[in-house]
Amino acid sequence: MRLDRARRIADAVLLEGYVLYPYRASAPKNRWRFSFGVLAPRAWSEAGGCEPWFLEARCLVEPAGTPRLSGRLRFLQARRRLVEEAVAGGGGAFRAVEALDAGGRLLVPWDEGELREIALDGTLAAGGPERVESFELRGDTEVEPVADAAGGTAGRVSWTRSPVRGEVRVACEPVDADRPLLRVRVRVENLTPWGDPGARREAILPASCLSTHLVLALEDGAFVSPLDPPEWAAAAAAACRSVATWPVLAGEAGERDLVLCAPIILYDHPRLAPESPGDFFDATEIDELLALRTSTLTEAEKREVRATDPRAAALLDRVEGLPPELLERLHGATRALDGAEMIPRPEPAPEPATFRPGDRVVLRPGARRTDAQDLLYAGHVATVRSVRRDVDDREWLAVTIDDDPAAELHDWYGRYHHFLTDEVERLAPAPAPEVGR
């Protein structure tokens, strides 16, 4: 299926921030769950809740016949796990606890996330009626008794799914442009009934669509890049304002039949780093760092990780079984940018520098500077300690300030001020002293 070309990226988006290192339910950072793509019940959101109740993706399509749009609405449905212990002498009563260790099992409360996919399919009729597709996920509860070592009742654990109801609205209209062009609007709404407008955020998560995103595919047409449209479609692309989602071209570079609408900002044709062995639930972090830190968890911490979430348990098993050659692959790769996509960068041939270590300069920082400390050094004399180049191949001078009493110390441990070559004025070298006869 064509959507599979975008599925790995979509899965990474789905699980972004799902559970963060140290992957334990008791960690403070894991008390605020589902940071991205939450669509809350409309009544709660409109009463002042901090999460939106709808998202709206707008995309441009170049038709080539009669375009047909298909795809998936994807999100997580919370499955709330409650852990209770039996009250001694309570006649079968139970009370909620933060952890229950019984019969060799550790149980902790947690919101598991279950993937839900709603299929979308239909012809794009420019100017036709809006197409509405409803979806409804039913709620249920499962209860499991927990026995102690002696076979008695230590407590119970329950899993509850709340019902989630919503609609997907798809509309299409022609756009005034030099070539045939359509604007497609896909709107996802959470219409789950909710009666407590003052509820806290964690209370509404089971009735919400979590990590919500869209994967859209097109036949008989091509999507126009929202980020880098051709000149003839630039004005129309600028007028496409999406809400609570960020559409980009997906699939391989050059393909225009797939779009991923995500709750986080991506570039066109995003890719996963080939060195990454699997999900760490934090795409902005360094896989090697997370793998090494995870391997240092104590046995008690690892036990809680496995009790927290099945995905966290699988991550821990993967890290513990990571062979040295795969860990070495995570040590790093030098990359450059090609059309906003990071690619392996060959070592460039050295270019002659316009400055050399030891050169003395007067600092003339320009208006683009925002660091007040750098601006305060305007007019000061500095010594170039090294010449460096950034990813855009611009030349930077690492300098120490000559009248700074700590200049020698800064040079010793490499703490420099950095200025572009057009922000300095070269000083002529001091004349050599005359030698008497």
| pLDDT, tens digit (0-9, with 9 covering 90-100), for 18-64 | 999 999 999 999 999 999 999 999 999 999 999 999 999 999 999 99
Least confident of 6-20, 170-184, 357-371: 357-371
CB-side exposure of 228: number of CA atoms within 13 Å?
11
Q: Is the pLDDT of residue 140 over 70?
A: yes
Q: At what angle do helices 310-320 and 299-308 cross, to 10 degrees?
A: 140
Q: Which of 77, 29, 365, 31 is nearest to 208 (CA)?
A: 77
Q: Distance between CA atoms of 94 and 81, rounded to whole angstroms?
A: 15
175 or 348: which carries more pLDDT confidence?
Answer: 175
Would you state the pLDDT for residue 338? Answer: 60
Q: What is the pLDDT of residue 73?
A: 97
Show the 3-state SS of 181-247: CEEEEEEEEECCCCCCCCCCHHHHHHHCEEEEEEEEEEEEEEEECCCCCCHHHHHHHHCCCCECCEE
Residue type, 431: P
SS3 26: coil
pLDDT of residue 2: 73
> Tokens 């007067």, residue?
362
> In this model, does residue 349 exceed pLDDT 90?
no
What pLDDT is attached to residue 374? 77
Write out pLDDT tens, residues 311-323: 999 999 999 988 8
* CA 388 vs CA 333, 418, 421: distances in Å: 19, 9, 11
Cα distances (angstroms) measured from residue 134 to each of 84, 115, 170, 212: 36, 18, 12, 16
Task: Measure the CA–CA gap between 281 and 13, rounded to whole angstroms.
Answer: 9
pLDDT at 411 over 50: yes
Cβ contact 383:360 at 8 Å? yes
Looking at residue 376, its pLDDT comes to 85
Q: Which H or E element spans position 308? A: helix 299-308
- Res. 90: pLDDT tops 80: no
**Whole-number average pLDDT of the chain:** 90
Query: What number is the average pLDDT over the span 223-232?
Result: 95
The C-alpha atoms of residue 259 and residue 184 are separated, in whole angstroms, by: 12
Among 257, 271, 309, 392, smallest CA distance to 23 is for: 309
pLDDT at 437: 45
At residue 151, the pLDDT reads: 87
Displacement of CA 283 from its chain's centroid (Å):
6
Cross-strand pairs, 69 = 122, 218
Backbone angles phi, psi at 43, to 5 degrees: -60, -40
Does residue 436 have a pLDDT over 70?
no
pLDDT at 346 over 60: no
Tell me which residue of 212, 287, 218 sits closest to 251, measured CA to CA: 218
List beta partners, residue 118: 73
Within 13 A of 288's CA, how many CA atoms are on the CB side? 12
Do 382 and 360 touch, CB atoms closer than 8 A? yes
For residue 166, give both structure tokens. Answer: 């919503």
* Residue 277: partners with Cβ closer than 8 Å, 6 or more residues away: 287, 318, 322, 326, 330
> Looking at residue 149, what is its pLDDT?
86
Distance of alpha carbon 274 from alpha carbon 342, whole angstroms: 11
For residues 54 and 149, which has the higher predicted lDDT (pLDDT)? Answer: 54
